Structures are given as structure tokens and as C-alpha cells.
Chain A
Amino acid sequence: MSSLTNAVVLDERVVRARGGDEAAFESLYREHTGRVYALCLRLSGDRGRAADLTQDVFVRCWEKLGTFRGESAFGSWLYRLAVNVVWMANRGDRRREERVVPVAEPDLHERATRDATAGLGIDLERAIATLPEGAREVFVLYDVEGYSHEDIARMTGVAVGTSKAQLFRARRLLRERLER
């Protein structure tokens, strides 16, 4: 019964927000910000950036609300949107970094992050943050968030096989790093 009530309330807020009602949108923000922030934090590996990305997600959500047709729960739609926003931001950042990182040292970022955390009693959250970007994305989405490889492929535009390979790589790297 309570879930039915929640669904009705949620629908009303979405409909009102679509019509430009900021109070309704703020209510949606209050309900979902923790989940969106957690996702942004783990996908980006940086607290400051996660806050910026969370803002980007909700601004994007506001702009795209008209395309939400209620075929899935609003939360599911929002989290997928969040993944897409972070993914696009990460790709943009990586392109910028690639302009200054020598091609001959492809693991530079990986080594730098690994060295920076050595000896700190690294925990899982920290270890996840040190993963290379593609591997981190897939690990967070698959092992933490519970998406399937097919979902990840749809959300990020990578092939299902690539998602599987990145997951394999992420798990291997995490095991290695947590071993130390």
C-alpha cells in the first residue's frame, strides 16, 4: 500500500516539475540527491567533482524531464541520466588529459593514483577510486549498482564484451591492490 502511495506522489511531483514547478523539482532533488551523489562520487573518484556532477545531473534532469514518459520509475531514469552525464564528463576530461600525457606511458594515471594511496590502509572505496576510469565505471555500475552488462552497454555506449572485459580488469586490479 505504501509503495502505491509513493508512486502516486512521485508522479505528481514529476508532472508538476515538468510544468515548471521548482518546489516539486526540489522535492525530487531532496529524495534522490544522496543516491545520485554516491553514484557521481564513485564514478568520478573525487568528492569536489562529484558535487559538481550532481548539480549537472539535476540541471540536465530538469532540461530532459519532458522526455520522461514514465516507462520506468523516475529514480531509475534519473540514475541512468546520471551515469550518462558522468560518462560524458569523464570522456571530456580524458580527452583533455590525453593531450598532455605522453603516449609512451599509457599507465601513467594508473601508476600515479596507485602510488598516491600506497600504505594508507586502503579500503574498498579508496581502491575503487584508484581504478582506471573505464574499469571503475563498469565495476561501480555492475558490482555496486547491480546493472547488467547490457544495461551498462546501453548507458555508456560501449560493447557488452568491453563491459565484461573492464569488469574482469577492475576485479583483478582491486584484488591486487587490496592484497598489499
Chain B
Amino acid sequence: MNEKELQDAARQLPRSIEPPQDLWPGIRERIGRTKAGEGGRGRWDRRVIWIPLALAAGVAAILLLRPRGETWAVQRVAGAPRVNDAPLGASGTMRVGQVLETDDSSRATIAVGGIGHVDVQPGTRVRLVRAEVTDHRLALAYGGIHAKVDAPPRLFFVDTPVGTAVDLGCEYVLETDSSGRGRLHVTGGYVEFAWSGVRSVVPVDAYAETRGGRPPGVPYVSDAPATLVAALDSFAFASGGPPAAHAALAAARSEDAISLWHLLSRVDAPDRGAVYDRLATLVPPPDGVVRDRAIVLDSATLDRYWSRIERIHFRIVTLRGVRPIDARTGLSKE
């Protein structure tokens, strides 16, 4: 089996498999015992056991989650990176509050606790903000980083001048200048980029632009039409308003559903119906998603729609070059 046939094969696995033998006799015997009345006894005994166990678990949790080691290892890759203005040798460490800087010909790699690493590109200034078990945080003042994290979501954060990139299990490149003008490119998994109450969820093979003093832009896929990207840019950063939004709707394909899903919650209320209708044409909503709930931005409705959209997007990206995928449904066209 070709690895790229994975998703199709998973959908075609049989939903029902008969057990190797009839299990009913064993079940009948056990429910017979249940009917005889085993429930309810020993409740107090169980409580006596569970109370000290719960206390022990609480102590263990405190020990596990307490801050440990506030330094991260740093390696010089090229040139002469500096940590707090001191030249970095072949390797060294960064403490919380310290700054790593690279000039135009320098590169370095930061080990993010035990959960991943960050390649620091030339011309970058980055500060270690927190090094805790539940909060690994850098602040990128300017320049670029390539982050790869293999950990549960929301353990690794990068603050930038215009928001915070939150790792959701991913790999990405984040570039910004000191004014906040930059771009996020996700190459694996998902990244959430949030600022001032506005959130973009950027999946693999998608971009989000950033500009100083503005919320993150509407994400778009790598092969999005130039007219769509321009319309989204105008909408997010140039006060393009409803005309820019409608230009985006006209330019969008089914492959661009992640953009329209984000646009739905960014446009003013009177325009949401048009965005929803276009999105529903491009990617029919799953069961349980109805227009009335979507245009009032009901979170459960939007989440359910997003699950469909990101699933199709993942199949398109994964099977690119192997087999054509219908961007409306996520099914193979072959």
C-alpha cells in the first residue's frame, strides 16, 4: 500500500467485524449477576481508599508541574551569535530573561526544554521569557525562526510584536520585523496566532500575514489565487471592508475554505450571510451545521464546520501529487 493512500484506506475499513466466537453466553452470565444485585455495596470503603489516593495525586501533580531548570541549551550553527551580548561558543545556555541575537551571517539552534527546537535565522533577536513545564515561551523581537515541537498543544509560545504564536503540535517558520510586519508559514500540524481577541488557526501548508497594530491576517493556502491573497490583505490590513471581503468571496475556490471560514467571523454581521453561503457552496457543511447558528458565530457550529474543512485540507495536502482530491468533499476523484 502506498503511504499516501492512507486516508482513503482508513475510510474504507469495514465498520463491522464479527467476533471470533459468540460472546453472548458470557454477557448473559454477567448481567445475570448484575441483576442479582452486586451494585451499591462498599461505597464507604471505596471512599476511604480514594481520599488518600487523591491527596497523593495532588502532591505528585504539584511536584511534576513546579518550575524546573530555567535555562535552555543553545548551539552555534554559523557565524557569531551572542547571548546577552556575550559571544556564544560552540554551545551554551540561555537563562530566562536573556537575549540571543544573530547578525546577518549568524545562525543558532535553541533546544526548547525537552519538547523541540528552534532554529534562529540570521538577523534575529529573541528572548527567553519562560522555561516552565507548562509554558515554554520565547519573544521574537525581529528576524525569523523555524520551530519544530513534538509535544501536546499549548506548551510552546512565541510572542511577537503583533501577537502570540501558540503551538498546537507543529512545525513552522515565523518571520517578523520590529514593527510586526511578517508572516507565519506552517509546515506541519497547526499553529494558532492570536492578538487582541482575534484568532487565526493556521494549518499545514498555509500562511498568515501580520502587520503592526493589526490582528493577524486571514490564513490562506500556499497555492491560493493571487487575487484572493490581495483581497484578504486589503480586508485585514488596508481597511478594505465589505468590498474586499466580497472580492475574496469571488476569488475563493473550494481549496480556500480555510480562508472563508476565518472570514466568516471577521466580517460585520450583515455580511456573514454572504460569506456563509459562499463557503457552503464551496464546501457543503456537515450535519449539525446550520446557517442560522453559523452567522451568529455559535462556537460549536463553527468548530464542527472547521473539523470538516481542516480534514479536507489535510487530505489535499497529504495526497498532493499522488491522487486528486475533491476539495468540496475530501474524497478521491479517481
Residues in chain A within 8 A of chain B (CB atoms): 20, 22, 25-26, 29-30, 33-35, 37-38, 41-42, 47, 50-51, 54-55, 58-59, 62-63, 123-125, 139, 142-145, 148-150, 159-162, 164-165, 168-169, 171, 174-176, 178-179
The complex places the Cα of A57 from the Cα of B170 at a distance, in Å, of: 36
Which residue, B1, B19, B314, has most C-beta atoms of chain A within 10 A?
B19
Quick check: A165 and B31 within 8 Å, CB to CB? no
Query: Is A178 touching B6 in the complex (CB atoms < 8 A)?
Result: yes
- Closest 7 A/B residue pairs (Cβ): A165-B169, A161-B153, A34-B16, A38-B17, A143-B10, A148-B307, A178-B3
Is B30 interfacial (CB 8 A cutoff)? yes
- Among A50, A164, A176, the one with the most B-chain Cβ atoms within 10 Å of its Cβ is A164
Q: Are A174 and B188 in contact (CB under 8 A)?
A: no
| Contact status A38-B26, CB under 8 Å | no
Whether the Cβ atoms of B20 and A51 lie closer than 8 Å is: yes
* B239 contacts the other chain (CB 8 A): no
* B11 x A161 contact (CB < 8 A): no
CB <8 Å contact, B23 and A38: no
- Asked whether, in the complex, the Cβ of A63 is within 8 Å of the Cβ of B153, the reply is no
Cα separation A55 to B300 with both chains bound (whole Å): 34
Nearest CB to that of B307 among chain A residues?
A148
Q: Can you list, as one digit per residue, whether each of B217-259 has a CB less than 8 Å from chain A (1) or not (0)?
A: 0000000000000000000000000000000000000000000
Closest to B19 in A: A37
CB distance from B151 to the nearest CB of A (A): 8
- Give, as a whole number of angstroms, the nearest-CB distance from B201 to chain A: 10
Q: Do A22 and B31 touch (CB < 8 A)?
A: yes
Instruction: Indicate whether B85 reaches chain A with its CB closer than 8 angstroms.
Output: no
Specify which chain B residues have a CB less than 8 angstroms from the CB of A149 in the assembled complex.
303, 307
**A105 → chain B, closest Cβ, in Å?**
14
- Select which of B6, B28, B150, B311 is within 8 A of A26 by beta carbon: B28
* Known A-B contacts A37-B19, A47-B20; A143 and B31 likewise in contact (beta carbons under 8 Å): no
**Which of B6, B27, B34: most chain A Cβ within 10 A?**
B27
The answer to whether A34 and B1 touch (CB under 8 A), given A144-B10, A144-B11, A161-B169, is no
Assess whether B300 is in contact with A124, with CB atoms less than 8 Å apart: no
Please give me the residue from chain B that is nearest to A125 by CB atom: B13
Determine if A164 and B28 form an interchain contact, defined as CB atoms under 8 angstroms apart.
no
| Chain A residues whose C-beta falls within 8 Å of the C-beta of B300 in the assembled complex | 150
* Cβ contact within 8 Å between B23 and A55: yes
Interface size class on chain B is: 35 or more
Residues of B within 8 A of A29 (CB): 23-24, 27
Which of A26, A42, A59 is in CB contact (< 8 Å) with B34?
A59
**Contact indicator A165/B13 (Cβ below 8 Å):** no
Known: A35-B15, A37-B19. A150 touches B303 (CB 8 A): yes
B185-243 contacts to A, CB under 8 A, are 188-190
Complex Cα gap A90–B16 (Å): 21
Other A-B pairs, 11, CB within 8 Å; known A55-B26, A124-B10: A34-B17, A34-B18, A38-B16, A51-B21, A51-B23, A59-B34, A143-B10, A159-B152, A159-B154, A171-B314, A175-B318
With the chains together, A139 CA to B144 CA distance in Å? 33
CA–CA, A145 and B307, complex, Å: 14
Is B14 part of the contact surface with A, judged by Cβ < 8 Å? Answer: yes
Per-residue contact bits, chain B 139-157, to A (CB 8 Å; 1 contact, 0 not): 0000000000011111000
CB pair B27–A58 under 8 Å, yes or no, is yes
Which residue on B lies nearest to A160, using beta carbons?
Answer: B303
Which B residues lie within 8 Å of A55 (CB)?
A: 23, 26-27, 30
Q: Give B21's nearest chain A residue, CB to CB.
A: A51
Once bound together, how far apart are the Cα atoms of A159 and B192, in whole Å?
15
What are 9 A-B residue pairs whose CB atoms fall within 8 Å in the complex?
Answer: A29-B27, A35-B15, A35-B16, A38-B14, A41-B17, A51-B19, A54-B23, A143-B11, A150-B304
Q: How far is the CA of A113 from the CA of B170 in the complex (A)?
A: 25
| Residues on the B chain within 8 Å of A142, using CB | 311
List residues of chain B with CB within 8 A of the CB of A174.
Answer: 3, 6
Nearest CB on A from B102, distance (A) = 30
* Residues of chain B contacted by A34 (CB below 8 angstroms): 16-19
Any chain A CB within 8 A of the CB of B9? yes
CB <8 Å contact, B304 and A148: yes
B168 within 8 A of partner (CB):
yes
A171's contact among B6, B11, B19, B27, by CB below 8 Å, is which?
B6
Q: Which residues of B contact A26 (CB under 8 A)?
A: 24, 28
Asked if B168 and A124 sit within 8 Å, CB to CB, the answer is no
Q: Cα distance A171–B18 when bound, in Å?
A: 27
CB-CB contacts below 8 Å: B1-56 with A = 1-4, 6-7, 9-11, 13-21, 23-24, 26-28, 30-31, 34-35, 39
